Amino acid sequence: MIPLINSASQFTSRVAVRSGNKDYSYGQLLDRSAQIAWTLLQGREDLEEARIAFIVDPGFDYVAIQWGIWRAGGIAIPLCIKHPYASIKYVIEDTSAEAVIFSDVYRDLISPLFSDFTIRSLPIAQIGVEKGRLPDISVERRAMILYTSGTTGHPKGVVTSHTNIEAQIRSLVTFWEWSEEDHILNILPLHHVHGIVNILCCALWSGACCEFLPKFDPAQIFEVFKKGEVNLFMAVPTIYYKLIAFFNQLPDSEQKEISGKLGAFRLMVSGSAALPVSTLEKWREISGHILLERYGMTEMGMAISNPYRGKRKPGYIGEPLPGVDIRLVDEEGGPVEEGTPGEIQIRGSNVFREYWRKPEATAESFVDGWFKSGDIAVLEEGSYRILGRNSVDIIKSGGYKISALEIEEILRKHPGVKDCGVVGIPDEEWGEIVAASIILKEGCHELPDLKEWLSDKLPNYKIPRKYMVQNDLPRNVMGKVTKKELQKIMSEL
């Protein structure tokens, strides 16, 4: 039995989801997810880990589909609603998904799938009432695949089992003291752990209410806050930055009203990227809250968190969460002493099972059972502080992880591009922005169409925001591109 879904029967009459100005109870969620499961099974006893992709707006349908796939024994693959077709196609091909469930607004976007692949088309609106038996699901089963960028050109599918997801939920629910009285606003994309596990699954595990907005919109977010029902909020630093900018241009009376409501919140969390102390301070002035900063990753959910009740240290990510083992190691793999930087390695049931169909990449990312995060940190007075990453090819922009190599690979396919180098450069709002240095092919003097050309090949957040044309990239004596040097040059532009 899947513990998250099992626990819902304690709360059948409580509100589980608010979306599109409608409330849906845990009972409705159980009923609708069973209908979806039966439709997926179509007479089979068990989906036996078949991959089922889905693309719907954040809201009740999303949750009912996720639970329906799990209840039928499938692996849930949430597609990003903002991705171009090329990114969606990549995921469907990589997972060999057997079906895609979609709402009508995404029909045009995904319709080429039905000629490119043999895949069952399931419009959510056409899933009606069916009846049947549902299989018993072992918690060791694979439950979800989320795509993440890494130090390889193509995104990798991170596979988590029901046990992994349960461990990720339990440690947060305990440490942050979730309860059925909680009401959280979820404005994050639902193809990453922050929106899916930290917000949605923790809320539903607790019998709380998860309210959705269709997209990120500061005005709408503050309207919801003003109603005074929401008491929990979690977002990436860029979102706090944007909320602060919006708040600052509101009239005094409205600012006072909003600040009053925010002051009554139980908890506000920031994560997915480093929280600038300036953002923490500005948000403290507005809300009276010291944002709780925590650290995590698609491969492990959350691992390190500032305390819920104790003193939160600005600029630090805190202490290991319950059930999560953390160690810092040097380049030789030996443990480092307090005060010395090392790579964060993680062990625990929260850690993912494998990269989908990539046994070598999976093996390379572990050492003696510890997952190698690639993040460098230091432990100071019992609290961890992130110093950076061991790869310049990973960029974090707006809380999204982006691979420089993936963008370079695509840029090199442009008919005017001979070579290129992509780096992340610091930016107050976005954390980092993607910057590309381009070497043009002989006879080509400019690339006016580049942004347009990239738009159907890459999601918007991966498209470079800063460009430079060079005769050659900075290189070391061996001829290897020196990305740190390129980063420096492009930061100074």
Q: How many CB atoms are closer than 10 A to CB 1?
A: 12
Candidates 433, 436, 450, 458; binder of ligand MLC (CB under 6 A) is 433
Assess 238 for contact with ligand MLC (CB under 6 A).
yes
Assess 375 for contact with ligand AMP (CB under 6 A).
yes
Match 């692949």 to its residue by tokens.
117
Q: How far is the CB of 204 from ligand AMP (least distance, A)?
A: 21
Assess 396 for contact with ligand AMP (CB under 6 A).
yes
Which H or E run contains 311?
none
Rounded CA gap, 164 and 196, in Å? 13
Q: Which is nearer to ligand AMP, 141 or 194 (CB)?
A: 194
Q: Print the binding letters for residues 400-419 with ligand MLC: x by CB under 6 A, - otherwise.
A: x-------------------
Q: Which is nearer to ligand MLC, 215 or 412 (CB)?
A: 215
For residue 81, give the 3-state DSSP assignment. Answer: coil
Q: How far is the CB of 355 from ligand MLC (least distance, A)?
A: 16
Assess 194 for contact with ligand MLC (CB under 6 A).
yes
Segment contacting ligand AMP by CB under 6 A, of 7-15, 86-94, 182-190, 291-299: 291-299
Q: Which is nearer to ligand MLC, 183 or 192 (CB)?
A: 192
Q: Which residue is nearest to ligand MLC (CB)?
A: 398
Assess 466 for contact with ligand MLC (CB under 6 A).
no
Rounded CA gap, 433 and 241, in Å? 15
Cα dist from 157 to 202, 319, 370, 483, whole Å: 22, 28, 19, 26
Candidates 193, 202, 203, 317; binder of ligand MLC (CB under 6 A) is 193
Distance of CA 302 to the CA centre of its chain: 11
Candidates 58, 59, 78, 189; binder of ligand MLC (CB under 6 A) is 189
Question: Measured at the alpha carbon of residue 79, what is the angle toward residues 77 and 84, in degrees to the nearest 5?
Answer: 150
Match 């305990």 to its residue by tokens.
174
Cα dist from 237 to 82, 187, 280, 430, 437, whole Å: 20, 13, 9, 8, 27
Which H or E run contains 226?
helix 218-226
Assess 103 for contact with ligand MLC (CB under 6 A).
no
The listed partner (ligand AMP, ligand MLC, none) that binds 191, CB under 5 to 8 Å by sort, is: none
Q: Which is nearer to ligand MLC, 9 or 460 (CB)?
A: 460
Assess 345 for contact with ligand AMP (CB under 6 A).
no
Q: What are phi and psi of 118, to 5 degrees?
A: -90, 100
Number of residues that bind ligand MLC (CB under 6 A): 24
Task: Tell me 321's DSSP state.
Answer: P
Candidates 148, 164, 350, 362; binder of ligand AMP (CB under 6 A) is 148
Sign of the four-CA dihedral 21, 25, 30, 35: negative
Assess 297 for contact with ligand AMP (CB under 6 A).
yes
Rounded CA gap, 373 and 346, in Å? 7
Q: Are 91 and 357 in contact (CB under 8 A)?
A: no
Assess 157 for contact with ligand MLC (CB under 6 A).
no
Segment contacting ligand AMP by CB under 6 A, of 10-18, 51-59, 268-276, 360-368: 268-276
Q: Which is nearer to ligand AMP, 154 or 401 (CB)?
A: 401
Hey, which residues does 263 pair with through a beta bridge?
none
Please name the residues in contact with 477: beta carbons below 8 A apart, sequence gap of 6 or more. none
Q: How far is the CB of 378 from ligand AMP (least distance, A)?
A: 13
Rounded CA gap, 28 and 255, in Å? 37
Assess 297 for contact with ligand MLC (CB under 6 A).
yes
Assess 274 for contact with ligand AMP (CB under 6 A).
yes
Candidates 398, 421, 424, 464; binder of ligand MLC (CB under 6 A) is 398
Q: Are 239 and 271 in contact (CB under 8 A)?
A: no
Hey, which residues does 123 pair with through a beta bridge?
102
Helices and strands (H and E) in the chain: how many: 17, 26
Assess 373 for contact with ligand MLC (CB under 6 A).
no
Please name the residues in contact with 116: beta carbons below 8 A apart, sequence gap of 6 or more. 89, 92
In the complex, the residues that contact ligand MLC under the rule CB under 6 A are: 188-189, 192-195, 216, 236, 238-239, 271-272, 296-298, 397-400, 430, 433, 460-461, 465
In the complex, the residues that contact ligand AMP under the rule CB under 6 A are: 148, 271-274, 293, 295-298, 317, 373, 375, 386, 389, 396, 401
